[in-house]
Amino acid sequence: MDLHKEGDRGSAKQKKVKIVFVIGGPGSGKGTQCKRIAQQFGYTHLSVGEILRQEISSGSETGSMIQKIMKEGKLVPSDVTVRLLQQAMQGINSDKFLIDGFPRNEENVKAFEDLTKMEPEFVLYLDCPQDEMEKRLLSRNEGREDDNIETIRKRFKVFMESTLPTIEYYESKGKIRKVDAGKSVDEVFESIKVIFSQGKDNKVPPSRHKCKCLIL
């Protein structure tokens, strides 16, 4: 499935594709919850973080560049991220995509909209306290080299500075669906199930969506 190159011929098909973005700070539980959502609601789950790590593992020149950027706790350029995401979506026979860890900044949003001519159905925001996210990252022992305290704190800072403005952008469009991700995995998923069961009918007044900045 090539979202960019299908052109007018694929416009009808494009309109049927449903995309949900899942965003939250590092350690907010995006991957865990996305696996459950995909299983229960029939979405194809794509983790942008995993896509980037797979590119690193390939040993490509792009992968080496991505590795260096991630070690520094910075964000990968939008054109690179969107290109790799599009490649991952190509050839997948699915009309429902759950995209985990994207967009990470306003530039990601613009690149995605410009290249795919699509917007998400809604954006699931996993709102989790920083101390809880830090505790989870330090205890998960997945062997990821970016799970050290120095890089973790850089990632928190990047999230606060870069990702929160995208939350505000989608909030202004009425697309944010926020859940308290500081609770247990099961409790968080119960809140998520309500959102996905109701879909577009799950409208929450803007005043209840106000984002609280993380204090570093």
Q: Annotated binding site for a ribonucleoside 5'-phosphate, which residues?
A: 53, 74-76, 101-104, 144, 155
Residues tagged in the binding site annotation = 27-32, 53, 74-76, 101-104, 108, 140, 144, 155, 183
Residues tagged in the binding site annotation for ATP = 27-32, 140, 183
Torsional sign, CA 30, 34, 35, 37: positive
- The contacts of residue 132 (CB under 8 Å, 6+ apart) are 27, 182
N- to C-terminal Cα distance for the chain? 41
Task: Identify the helix (H) or strand (E) that includes residue 14.
Answer: helix 11-16
**DSSP 3-state assignment of 37?**
helix
* Residue 166, both tokens: 């995208």
Q: How far apart are CA 38 and CA 98, in angstroms?
A: 7
Residues tagged in the binding site annotation for CMP = 108
Estimate the share of the chain in helix, then strand, then coil, as percent rounded to the nearest 5. 55, 10, 30
Torsional sign, CA 136, 141, 142, 146: positive
